[in-house]
């Protein structure tokens, strides 16, 4: 390949150490489809510890006395309505504690509710009847998809009824000409993507939980994920949706049209509202053609300034084929190495690493662009070392250094997680400042007498989205108080967002004021009251 020769020649002219780049001429057609990045609840759930009830962790949150109490009559109504035995998990008239547990608690084992009833409607009409009944009886509910959230948004706090969408899992249609998929809310993201892969298309969203999360939950939480940089936000790609309001009204806005300027775009209100004004039952979404070639490179970088330069170069040179630019700091990668025992792809150690992915329609063109980018960033000394995946196995293995961080951290004890947006120049400064603050307070150290093991940063640099994680040996109120609200004030000063993509849930509801002004919060409350005057939809959370 001529590109390879050019690259080698260019490297000879430079002073930087020659990176161990292995060029990969081609990749199987749709590698993304076979990459398994899903996590299961069990893999991160130590069996030796009970999960604390959210009501105990948040003692100032009280059950709303206006809400009704579940009775045997209510359960009879739901059983008759939903018909099937498996559609109702009944802890009201029977003992079903074990069966209820997976619906009461989250995969991080951080939040745990007291629900005694789980309903699994099979279609929109059933959801409508359930909600209408609940609204009439003022029974609070929690919509629940794959229950993979990170802010406690999809589990109850007290005895809210869980409405789980897992039985609403049909793909309705896909039109190849327009690329529009119509599917039930309960379809698992990976299932939708596999279905599309067989039709040479791609679901325009990808995230670690894809093997478990539901597309309805993705839309309800406005999930961002790994490739927002390329495929944009769900506010742009979701063309229509169907949802049920608390009073049972079915909002049928399941348009498959790319353009439809006939009135207020009400569907947008359901995207990211975390089930607080209605329950999303189906979506239609614009799906792009599946890329024929996908490449991934992994770099070591000497400073955050160089990392920013690398990103600007990637944006400029890889342009339309750039599909991910992920940042991982040195500590996050050493934690993955310690936890997995895997050999790190680079020989030296660097304060920063980044993963650059391209997705395009022509493998040769993409490789040429990538080579030219590599040649540039290496000859200019912007990156210090790097590898390029040579085959599907290496592709997956490189991605695991990014995607394995969450799981590696979970093996080490507790983690205080902050998912934030900060303007790029100061993005990583938050990690430095947090580390310094906790160190000065004497919390950070290598031996077990220190509560904090590590302060790490990683995330979607292409979207200015940082995940600040404070890994602790055990949850510690003093550490928590040293971080919060300091971290939110820090973000507020930079006009950042205290929740970039994870949402508010119960974890951040009290902190919304750091990212939204009073007028905005008041307007939000006004909307909540308009659609859910009894406040039954996912209470104690969001705004």
Q: From the CB of 543, what's the least distance to a copy of itself, in Å?
A: 5
Closest to a copy of itself by CB, 393 vs 526, is 526
Per-residue x/- mask for a copy of itself, residues 215 to 254, rule CB under 8 A?
------xx-x---x---xx-xxx-----------xxxxx-
Full 3-state SS string of 270-316: HCCCCCCCCEEEEEEEECCECCCEEEEEEEEECCHHHHHHHHHHHHH
Q: How many CA atoms lie within 13 A of 459 on its CB side?
A: 27
* Count of residues making up the chain: 543
Answer left, alpha or beta for residue 481, where phi above 0 means left and psi between -120 and 50 means alpha: alpha
With binding defined as CB under 8 A, does residue 86 bind a copy of itself? no
Closest to a copy of itself by CB, 20 vs 258, is 258
Inter-residue contact 344 to 322 (CB < 8 Å) = no
Query: Which of 20-28, 79-87, 187-195, 419-427 is the region at the interface with a copy of itself (rule: CB under 8 A)?
Result: 419-427
Q: In the range 291-310, which residues lie near a copy of itself by CB under 8 A? A: 291-292, 308
Closest to a copy of itself by CB, 192 vs 498, is 498
Per-residue x/- mask for a copy of itself, residues 108 to 137, rule CB under 8 A?
------------------------------
| DSSP code, position 112 | B
Beta bridge partners, 326, equal: 355, 460
Coil vs helix vs strand at 130? helix
List 95, 99, 176, 478, residue binding a copy of itself (CB under 8 A): 176
Return the ∠ at Cα 22 (arms to 21 and 28), rounded to 5°.
130
With binding defined as CB under 8 A, does residue 319 bind a copy of itself? yes
Rg (C-alpha) for the chain, rounded Å, is 24
List 6, 317, 334, 439, residue binding a copy of itself (CB under 8 A): 317
List 1, 22, 72, 257, residue binding a copy of itself (CB under 8 A): 257
List 271, 370, 452, 479, residue binding a copy of itself (CB under 8 A): 271
Q: From the CB of 387, what's the least distance to a copy of itself, in Å?
A: 24
Q: From the CB of 493, what's the least distance to a copy of itself, in Å?
A: 14
What is d(CA 46, CA 69) in angstroms, rounded to the nearest whole number? Answer: 33
Produce one character per residue of 392-412: b if its CB has 16 or more CB atoms within 10 Å, e if not. Answer: eebbbbbbbbbbbbbbbbbee
Q: In the range 182-201, which residues lie near a copy of itself by CB under 8 A? A: 200
Closest to a copy of itself by CB, 75 vs 127, is 127
What is d(CA 499, CA 464) in angstroms, rounded to the nearest whole number? Answer: 12
Beta bridge partners, 420, equal: 466
Give how far Cα 435 sits from Cα of 302, 430, 480, 507, Å.
Answer: 19, 8, 13, 22
Closest to a copy of itself by CB, 118 vs 244, is 244
Query: Which of 83-91, 316-324, 328-336, 398-406 is the region at the interface with a copy of itself (rule: CB under 8 A)?
Result: 316-324
Query: Which of 98-106, 114-122, 403-411, 524-532 is the region at the interface with a copy of itself (rule: CB under 8 A)?
Result: 524-532
Q: From the CB of 88, what's the least distance to a copy of itself, in Å?
A: 28
Per-residue x/- mask for a copy of itself, residues 483 to 502, rule CB under 8 A?
------------xxxxxxxx
Closest to a copy of itself by CB, 321 vs 444, is 321
Which residues, including other chains, have CB under 8 Å from residue 495's CB and lie 6 or more apart?
A: 423
Q: From the CB of 512, what's the least distance to a copy of itself, in Å?
A: 5
Coil vs helix vs strand at 100? helix
Query: Which of 55-63, 128-136, 285-293, 431-439 is the region at the interface with a copy of itself (rule: CB under 8 A)?
Result: 285-293
Q: In the range 434-453, which residues lie near a copy of itself by CB under 8 A? A: none
Q: From the CB of 116, what's the least distance to a copy of itself, in Å?
A: 30
The helix or strand, by DSSP H or E, that contains position 162, with its residue range, turns out to be strand 161-164
How would you class 485 by CB atoms within 10 Å of its CB: exposed for 0-12, middle for 13-18, buried for 19 or more? middle
List 20, 62, 315, 481, residue binding a copy of itself (CB under 8 A): 315
Among 467, 463, 507, 511, residue whose Cα is nearest residue 486: 511
């Amino acid at each position: 390949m001529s590109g390879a020769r050019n690259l080698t020649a260019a490297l000879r002219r430079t002073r930087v150490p020659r990176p161990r780049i292995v060029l990969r001429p081609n990749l199987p057609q749709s590698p993304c489809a076979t990459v398994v990045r899903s996590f299961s609840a069990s893999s991160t759930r130590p069996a030796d510890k009970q999960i604390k009830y959210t009501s105990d962790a948040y003692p100032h949150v009280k059950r709303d006395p206006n809400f009704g109490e579940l009775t045997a009559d209510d359960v009879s109504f739901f059983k008759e309505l939903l018909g099937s035995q498996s559609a109702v998990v009944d802890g009201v008239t029977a003992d079903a504690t074990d069966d209820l547990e997976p619906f009461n608690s989250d995969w991080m084992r951080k939040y745990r509710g007291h629900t005694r009833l789980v309903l699994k409607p099979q279609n929109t009409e059933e959801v409508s009847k359930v909600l209408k009944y609940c609204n009439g009886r003022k029974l609070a509910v929690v919509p629940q998809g794959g229950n993979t959230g990170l802010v406690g948004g999809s589990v109850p706090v007290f005895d809210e009824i869980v409405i789980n969408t897992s039985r609403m899992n049909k793909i309705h249609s896909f039109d190849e000409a327009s690329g529009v998929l119509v599917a039930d809310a309960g379809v698992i993201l990976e299932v939708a993507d596999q279905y599309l892969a067989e039709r040479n298309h791609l679901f325009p969203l990808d995230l670690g939980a894809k093997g478990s999360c539901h597309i309805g939950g993705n839309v309800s939480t406005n999930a961002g994920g790994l490739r927002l940089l390329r495929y944009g936000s769900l506010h742009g790609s979701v063309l229509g949706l169907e949802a049920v309001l608390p009073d049972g009204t079915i909002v049928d806005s399941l348009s498959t049209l790319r353009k439809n300027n006939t009135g207020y775009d009400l569907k947008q209100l359901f995207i990211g509202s975390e089930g607080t004004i209605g329950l999303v039952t189906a979506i239609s979404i614009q799906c792009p053609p599946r890329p024929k070639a996908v490449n991934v490179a992994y770099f070591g970088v000497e400073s955050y300034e160089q990392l920013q330069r690398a990103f600007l170069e990637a944006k400029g040179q890889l342009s339309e084929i750039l599909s991910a630019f992920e940042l991982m700091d040195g500590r996050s990668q050493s934690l993955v190495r310690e936890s997995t025992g895997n050999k790190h792809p680079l020989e030296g150690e660097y304060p920063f690493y980044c993963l650059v992915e391209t997705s395009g329609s022509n493998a040769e063109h993409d490789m040429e662009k990538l080579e030219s980018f590599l040649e540039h960033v290496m000859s200019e000394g912007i990156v210090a070392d790097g590898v390029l995946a040579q085959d599907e196995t290496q592709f997956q293995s490189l991605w695991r250094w990014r995607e394995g961080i969450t799981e590696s951290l979970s093996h080490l004890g507790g983690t205080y997680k902050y998912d934030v947006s900060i303007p790029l120049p100061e993005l990583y400064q938050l990690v430095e400042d947090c580390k310094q603050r906790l160190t000065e307070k004497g919390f950070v150290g290598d031996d077990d007498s220190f509560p904090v093991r590590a302060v790490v940063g990683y995330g979607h640099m292409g979207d200015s989205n940082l995940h600040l994680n404070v890994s602790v040996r055990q949850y510690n109120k003093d550490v928590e108080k040293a971080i919060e609200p300091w971290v939110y004030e820090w973000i507020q000063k930079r006009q950042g967002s205290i929740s970039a993509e994870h949402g508010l849930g119960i974890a951040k509801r009290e902190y919304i004021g750091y990212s939204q002004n009073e007028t905005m919060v008041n307007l939000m409350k006004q909307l909540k009251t308009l659609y859910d005057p009894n406040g039954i939809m996912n209470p104690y959370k969001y705004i």
